[in-house]
Amino acid sequence: MDRLAREELAASFPTADRDPPVFDADRRTVTLPVELKAAYSAYMDAEWFRLQLPGSSGAVGSAILKWSVAELVLGANPAVHLYSAGPAFASVVWHNGTRRDKAQHMVDRRWGSTMVLTEPDAGSDVGAGRTKAVLQDDGSWHIDGVKRFITSAEHDLTDNIVHLVLTARPVGVAGVGGPGTKGLSLYLVPKHHFDIDTGELTGSATAPS
């Protein structure tokens, strides 16, 4: 990992720093520099992300080892560390989700992931978030709200990006109106919907507006 950090990961840092991601507002896409993509692929292909993943995803290594590796990646190329958070965020789904196989798809397919809390009037005061979740007839939830400052929310590194929307309150459920963070629920909002059994993308993208 030390060699990987000093060579492949560090190599792209200066170019990626000078050549930032490109946001296309019409197509709603973000294109990353090729050098950064190469560093990201080198790190993911080495599979250090498996350290400390729960269940069948890995469950090897200690916290000290995991964070020592993180220190090397952060020192060489912080963007690689942030973009590669998918498997770690899959652990959150594994521990808290109603279907653990969703977490397995996130790891096996190396999808990106984000944490989605902050709103224009709810940053430090997370519990002030106004995003609502409305249960639909098919068992899914319609999420309605405005989020901002979401790290890695769009990029072209992975086939899918799974957004972990923490701050939303389910409408019509007793006892979820606060105060503060009391009653906030965690929703999984994939950029592309996927087949829960196979993990195959079903093609229908979620449509943030």
Ligand X SMILES: Cc1cc2nc3c(=O)[nH]c(=O)nc-3n(C[C@H](O)[C@H](O)[C@H](O)COP(=O)(O)OP(=O)(O)OC[C@H]3O[C@@H](n4cnc5c(N)ncnc54)[C@H](O)[C@@H]3O)c2cc1C
Question: Cβ closer to ligand X: 115 or 201?
Answer: 115
Alpha helices (H) in 77-188, listed in sequence order: 78-83, 86-96, 100-108
Alpha helices (H) in 84-201, listed in sequence order: 86-96, 100-108
Question: Cβ closer to ligand X: 104 or 158?
Answer: 158
**# of chain residues touching ligand X (CB under 6 A):** 10
As a whole number of angstroms, the distance between CA 118 and CA 17 comes to 25
Q: Which of residues 95-124 bind ligand X (CB under 6 A)?
A: 114-118, 123-124
Cβ(76)–Cβ(5) below 8 Å: yes
Rg (CA), the chain: 18
Q: Which segment (37-45, 100-108, 148-156, 172-180) binds ligand X by CB under 6 A?
A: 148-156
Question: Cβ closer to ligand X: 123 or 180?
Answer: 123
Closest approach of Cβ 93 to ligand X, in Å?
Answer: 16
Q: How many CB atoms lie within 10 A of CB 32?
A: 18
Alpha helices (H) in 47-195, listed in sequence order: 63-76, 78-83, 86-96, 100-108
Closest approach of Cβ 191 to ligand X, in Å?
Answer: 15
Closest approach of Cβ 118 to ligand X, in Å?
Answer: 4
Q: Which segment (49-57, 93-101, 147-155, 199-207) binds ligand X by CB under 6 A?
A: 147-155
Q: Max alpha carbon distance in the chain (Å)?
A: 54
Structure tokens at 152: 């890695």
**Which single residue brings its beta carbon nearest to ligand X?**
123
Question: Cβ closer to ligand X: 110 or 147?
Answer: 147
Closest approach of Cβ 159 to ligand X, in Å?
Answer: 20
Q: Which segment (27-35, 94-102, 146-154, 188-196) binds ligand X by CB under 6 A?
A: 146-154
Q: What is the identity of the amino acid at 48?
A: W
- Give the binding site for ligand X (CB under 6 A): 114-118, 123-124, 149-151
